[in-house]
Amino acid sequence: MRLSFYNFLKLILLSCLFSYANAIAKSDNNAAVKLYYGNIPTLVLSGSLRQMGVQYGASLRAQLKQELFILEDYYIDQQHLTYSQLVTQASLLYNRFPERYQVFMQGMAQGSALSLNEVKILNAMETLGELLPDKPQEACAFLFMPQQQTTTGGAFIGRNYDYAPPFDQLAKYLTVTVLKEPHKVATAFISIAGEIYCPSCINAAGIFLELNNGMPSGGTMVNHNTTSMLAVMLDTLRNSNSLTKVQNKLNHKNSDYSLIVNAANATADLSFEYSTNPILGMHYYVPDAQQNFVSTNFFLDSSWGDNVPVATDANSWYGVTRRNNLLNLSAAATKFNLTDFKALMSTSINSGGAVWDATIYQIIFDAATMNLYIRILSNPNTWEQIPLGEIFKQSESQ
């Protein structure tokens, strides 16, 4: 009789576990909302981070496999690295991510039918160049044009993403991903598929956040003993409904890389400059919100003094010229409409702008309308409009 009773309990327990696992599986397999604007996919993911990871992987399975082919062809076949080296390098970044984003990537592996090591490589694609004797160019630019100078009544924000090969091939897999999790601010991150962090992010409160390489000023050391700033930025936007909260969360943080993190909304902007040199630390400042502000790849805060190298084109990937060109172009008129701003952002360095050989994609955010515009230079080299404000509203009502 006792044996039958225990067997009955086991049967009940197994039944409960099966029902729970089945419910989780059904929840994990919910499809993402997938929209296309030109060639740019926009995903709206909902649920827990694990569930969103499964949705992300399932939605982008084909793109992720193509990217792995490109990365392995470049680093293994052309640069003669080993797969093991790529995994080891990628794991260094994965280990600096909070567990919640590791869980997202584990779900991504499940949804895409890729191994976790493959997912790690995709997430860390920007860091694989550290394995090469000649480090790749990782130059970017950020432009804030104040609301007084725009026809929409809100700031225009421009961002150039500049990177060396094979990112010119990977750029066509640029994706906008909206994370919709209970009790969080809905946040979109704009990245090459597989990068689960914030090269550029925008949240439903209209806050834009992006990063530039700051190594020309802050040094090349990597701090492996701190949470990655790449994940911190995404977490910051998902938990901030004001620029003041962004400032409070990013102030006095440590960074694993020397970075310049720029934040803005419709009326103001902030800049945070992080050095991995422990003697230097970080500085943040508030640019004049009435003035155009441009940041490239060297520190601008005057309080750094003589502690950082004097910036030149030679040591900042033409960062001085790119910055000066954007400042000159943005001062050329008292008012800019969106067409004017697109023309400004599209101007090549040879014609007095900031687009050069390493520029692979560009972003414009109209903070008044919450419209996002993306231009991938290789495919098809036109500005695509993404109504991010409408997408945020729709995701809130679902």
Neighbours of 99 (CB within 10 A): 9
Taking the CB of residue 243, how many other CB atoms lie within 10 A of it? Answer: 22
| pLDDT digit string, tens, across residues 86-115 | 999 999 999 999 999 999 999 999 999 999
Distance from CA of residue 129 to its chain's centroid?
18
Distance CA 299, CA 217 (A): 6
Mean pLDDT of 1-12: 39
Whole-angstrom CA distances from 44 to 30, 41, 56, 238, 389 are: 11, 10, 9, 14, 13
Nearest alpha-carbon partner for 371 in 175, 155, 110:
155
134 pLDDT more than 70: yes
Sign of CA dihedral 32, 33, 34, 40: negative
Confidence band (pLDDT; 50, 70, 90) for 6?
A: very low
Instruction: Give the separation between CA 303 and CA 21, rounded to whole angstroms.
Output: 56
Segment 199-257, tens digit of pLDDT: 999 999 999 999 999 999 999 999 999 999 999 999 999 999 999 999 999 998 999 99
* pLDDT score for 138: 85
Helix axes 49-59, 2-28, angle to 10 degrees: 60
pLDDT surpassing 80 at residue 8? no
Residue pLDDT, tens place only, 135-156 = 777 899 999 999 999 999 999 9
DSSP per-residue codes, 98-124: -HHHHHHHHHHHHHHT--HHHHHHHHT
Helix pair 99-112, 61-72: axis angle to 10 deg: 100
Tell me the percentage of the chain whose pLDDT exceeds 70: 92
What residues form DSSP beta bridges with 202? 188, 208
Q: Are 239 and 261 in contact (CB under 8 A)?
A: no
Q: At how many degrees (to 10) do helices 338-346 and 319-330 cross?
A: 160
DSSP label of 5 = H
pLDDT tens by residue, 19-39: 333 333 344 447 899 999 999
Binned at pLDDT 50, 70 and 90, residue 379 comes out as confident
**Mean pLDDT, the chain, whole residue set:** 92
Hey, how many other C-beta atoms are within 10 angstroms of the C-beta on 164? Answer: 18
- As beta bridge partners, residue 246 has none
Note whether 66 and 173 are within 8 A (CB): yes
Rg of the chain (C-alpha set):
22
Q: pLDDT tens digit string along 345-373?
A: 999 999 999 999 999 999 999 999 999 99
